[in-house]
Amino acid sequence: MSEENNNKDNKFSFIQEQITSKKKSRWKRMLISLGWTIVLACVFGAIASVAFCISLPKISKFLNVNQDKKTIEFPTMAPEDVDKNHADPNPDNLGGNQDITADNREQNSDKSNSSVGQNSDKSNSSVGQDTNKKGTNEAEVHTPETVVIEQPIKAKADVEDFLNMYTEIRAIANNANKSMVTVTSVRKGVDWFNNDYDAIKVTSGLIVANNGAELIILVSLDKIQEANRIKVTFFNSVEAEGVLQSYDTDLNIAAIAVKLKDIPEQNRKDIKPAILGESFALVVGTPVIALGNPNGYVGSMELGFITSKGNSAYITDNKVDIFNTSINDNKNADGVIFNFKGEVIGIITKVLKDEVNENVNTVIGISKIKKIIESLVNKQDQVYFGIKGMDMTAEALEKAGITGGVSVTEVEPESPALKAGLKNGDIILTVNETPINSMNSFYNIISLYEPKTSITITVKRDTKNAENNLNFEVILEKKDK
């Protein structure tokens, strides 16, 4: 019995004995786990990066997100730039080359007449001279002169010529219409009886840019601002959905975007952005074409000519040119003015219309709003200073004893200018030591800076005791839309 118990004890003791390796410390185990985690994370990140790079172009193409969007620019040549290039700064004299040609023609005619007399004199004085000199004078005398005899050509224009002229004008309009669209906005509402209804507005729009992913279209802001849905119909009857991108309340213009992928590829080639021309050189009497809905009917066309120019409208931080046409106006009129080259020279406006020209189209000149259109097209933030100013006449500058500046007529409430301490009646002389000569130059300079940028403004202020030049630090803000 005792022997059996001893055997059991020995067996039990043998089973309990095990050979184990030395246990690692807790910190060492944690470090090893952390190391493996980092290694696996790096491997996973590398694989994910490769997969993302491969799939990103396809995903972007499918969603049309930032697909090769190009920055759009609308260059312009201001009169002050013409001065710098030693050209004639007077827009009315942009046809000066023709006058110079005419003057040269008269001078050449005078020269030809005088040269005949001179040659005759030379032939008389050549008698008695030596042979070589005589030969030279004879060569001069017998040099053939080109005589131009201008005679009026009697031509009679008939009805066919008249029709041909209008055919050419219609061809210009048809080509320009490829840049025009019909914009239909739908706003949902509920009437007094709790019934749903759709308020529909139809107007015209102008294609101004193709950034590679979208077509950007300018349209009147008040026609689409509260829309729940925007439909764009192109000249070839193709329809696509539009999205409000940005807008400017001072000018009442908005930019809407239409994705290129929503337009069938076979229909894209005929749709093209308009060419923005220049409005600096406009002359009263210049014939123009109005497209869009200038008489209130979408898709209509009107012919007219410029009846007045040289007017301006002062808006916040800027000034725009205004001109009028002979085209009749009505409350539904909207559209674009083209010259006979097919270039846009103005946009019909309602918000800047004055009472004097109530019955004719009032138009914003395109040149001075190109920078604003650029910011709308590229979805760039516009800076806000917060004043309305006025250009100063030569007499006003002389009286103030300065060579340049703009007079502040209004400081808007809660604006950066008011917060900095500017007042009505101040004369802005410089922005960051750059001289200011007009409201346009003021706007062009502040537009070079981003919102939240601090700029130094030097103003001339009349006080009871003296006239002082004061410096103000103004922090520009983003312009509210």
Greatest pairwise CA separation for the chain in angstroms: 174
403-439 per-residue burial string, b: 16 or more CB within 10 A, e: under 16: ebbbbbeebeeebbbeebebeeebbbbbbeeeebebb
DSSP string, 223-277: HHTT-SEEEEEETTS-EEEEEEEEEETTTTEEEEEEEGGGS-HHHHTT--PPPB-
Does the pLDDT value for residue 424 go beyond 80?
yes
C-alpha dist (Å) from residue 311 to 39, 345, 346: 72, 15, 14
**Residue type at position 187:** R
What is the CA 453 to chain-centroid distance, rounded? 23
pLDDT in tens, 237-282: 999 999 999 999 999 999 999 999 999 988 888 899 999 999 988 9
- The C-alpha atoms of residue 208 and residue 185 are separated, in whole angstroms, by 19
pLDDT in tens, 329-379: 988 899 999 999 999 999 999 999 877 777 888 999 999 999 999 999 999
Half-sphere exposure of 307 (CA within 13 A, CB side): 14
Does the pLDDT value for residue 152 go beyond 50?
yes
Q: Mean pLDDT, to the nearest integer, of 125-132? A: 40
What is the CA 86 to chain-centroid distance, rounded? 26
The hierarchical CATH code for the domain 383-478 is: 2.30.42.10
- Looking at the domain covering 287-371, what would its CATH class be? mainly beta
234-254 per-residue burial string, b: 16 or more CB within 10 A, e: under 16: bbeebebebebbbbbbbbbbb
What does pTM read for this prediction? 0.71
Q: pLDDT above 70 covers what percent of the chain?
A: 74
Query: So what's the pLDDT on residue 75?
Result: 78
Phi, psi of 242 (to 5 degrees): -115, 155
CB contact at 8 A, 272 and 178: yes
Query: So what's the pLDDT on residue 114?
Result: 42
Q: Which two tokens stand for residue 15?
A: 């089973």
